[in-house]
Chain A
Amino acid sequence: MLRDAGRIAAKDLRIERRSRVLTTQVLPFALIVIVLFAFALDASTDALRRFTPGLFWVTVLFAAVLSVQRIFAVEVEDGALDALRLSGVDPASIFLGKAAAIATQLVVVEVLLGLSVVVFYDAEPDDVVLAAVAGVVAAGGVAAAGSLYGALVVNLRVRDTLLPVLLLPVLAPVLIAATRAYGDAFGTSAVDGWAWLGVLGLFGVIYLLLGILTYGVLLEES
């Protein structure tokens, strides 16, 4: 099961390296959002620094929607999804492979965003380890939920508009927990960031289990 998941993730990342949608579209988009927030919140670096954790994670969620859409678009372009179903691969492998590919992309997005907020918002993390660990765990949770909902809408004509409506409310706990963890890591709020990491981990585990359990049903006729 894991080997097939690895094959699928490697395939998706290779497609990504060739098509460069992440570097030429998703990353610039994330950067644009960071700039737009600055316009929206006055030219005050103080305010931006104070809200860095929240702005950072809202941007990650927006980028995640794009990443999920892209990862599933390659499957429907020329009937690859049918071929994937015909390959007899365990649906759980497809779920995990897709989730791993999305998570990897999100980590790349987070690194770039991290650098951007350091430069543009003058926000520097006091606790780099916490920021890194929370970033990876949150990426995993978002990717698991994204992989689940991406497959759910993949065959609908309205998939691009429906995906954010379904996915973003579900990610509310991730936004809250990751923002809190980063509030601690960036020293903007006095909370225990490591405790919030637990919420992120729990979310990730629940959505991984949900995906593994329901993917077979989802890919069946959809």
Chain B
Amino acid sequence: MSTRPSTGSTVTRVIGIAALIALALLLCAAFWWSEPDAQQGDAVRLFYLHVPVAILEYVAFIIAGVGSVMYLWKRSVFGDVMAHAAAEVGVVFCALTLITGSLWGRPTWGTYWDWGDVRLVTTLILLLLFVGYLALRQVPGDRHTRSKQAAIVALVALIDIPIINRSVEWWANRTLHQRSTLIEGKIEDINAFATFLGFLACGLVLSWFLVHRFRVAWLEREVATHGLERALSERRAEGAEV
């Protein structure tokens, strides 16, 4: 370990710098290089942030799910810490998705929110489910017990998502979201480039957050373990006094 304790390393610094560059490029691409959309006007520029964040949020939650399975199955501490870190970053990305989506929706659809939109509602409930997860995680108590409970909550949340998605879709039966324009290939070259930059920048930011959050959580565990050793010797000394 270096003399200055830090969760950074060469790799994270590279990721961090790359993320900053990608974000700067994304800003240029979104605000200067790309053209306003024929129908959406300048609002389309928010799209370059919104779509990557929305998709990466699911990536984060899936990582949380995988970590939870690793913990329940093999009691993998790595999986547990990874799940916690990914869930936290996922909640941030999830909130960001809803915020950018609402801001985008206002000029484009004429409303911040629409209960009939499947993805909006599903994302909101996903956010609420993982807010509950984080609430549970910060309750003090036996670490192993808490990790197990949290892992189950994460899995239940992820299993719930498709059911919620299907029922909202069936319930509202209408959507404001456009079909994926990426796949239909209508997007022009520069817009495609901006979208790509969006994914790159957000992906880098996500990994940077994830690595740092993971290391912080890992160090917290280390501290707790060191604390345990001290607590053990204190406890034994208590016995010797009698």
Contact = CB atoms under 8 A, between A and B. Distances in A.
A170 B149 contact: no
A152 B141 CA distance: 13
Contacts of A176: 167-168, 171
Contacts of A214: 152
B212 interface: no
B171 A180 contact: yes
B38 interface: no
Nearest to B121: A172
B11 interface: no
Interface stretch (A34-42, A130-138, A202-210): A202-210
Contact of A217 (B72, B129, B139, B160): B72
A166 interface: yes
B189 interface: no
B171 A169 contact: no
B159 interface: yes
Contact of B135 (A162, A170, A222): A162
A152 B125 contact: no
Contacts of B160: 169-170, 172-173
A220 B152 CA distance: 13
Interface string B167-188: 1101100000000000000000
Determine chain B's interface SS by DSSP, over half rule.
helix
A69 B171 CA distance: 30
A217 B163 contact: no
Contacts of A170: 129, 156-157, 160
Interface string A178-204: 001000000000000000100100110
Interface string B125-137: 1001101100110
A221 B163 contact: no
Contacts of A221: 142, 144-145, 148
B27 interface: no
A156 B145 CA distance: 11
Interface string A149-173: 0001101101000100110011011
A203 B148 contact: no
Interface string A21-63: 0000000000000000000000000000000000000000000
Nearest to B157: A170
A153 B153 CA distance: 11
B80 to A, nearest CB: 13
B164 interface: yes
A156 B157 CA distance: 20
B132 A152 contact: no
A206 B159 contact: yes
Contact of B132 (A169, A177, A196): A169
B13 interface: no
A218 B149 contact: yes
B167 A199 contact: yes
Contact of B153 (A155, A158, A166, A202): A166
A222 B142 CA distance: 8
Given A152-B153, A177-B167, A222-B149, A210 B159 contact: yes
6 closest residue pairs by CB, A with B: A169-B128, A166-B132, A221-B145, A173-B167, A176-B167, A173-B163
8 contacts: A148-B152, A162-B132, A165-B135, A169-B132, A170-B160, A176-B168, A218-B152, A220-B145
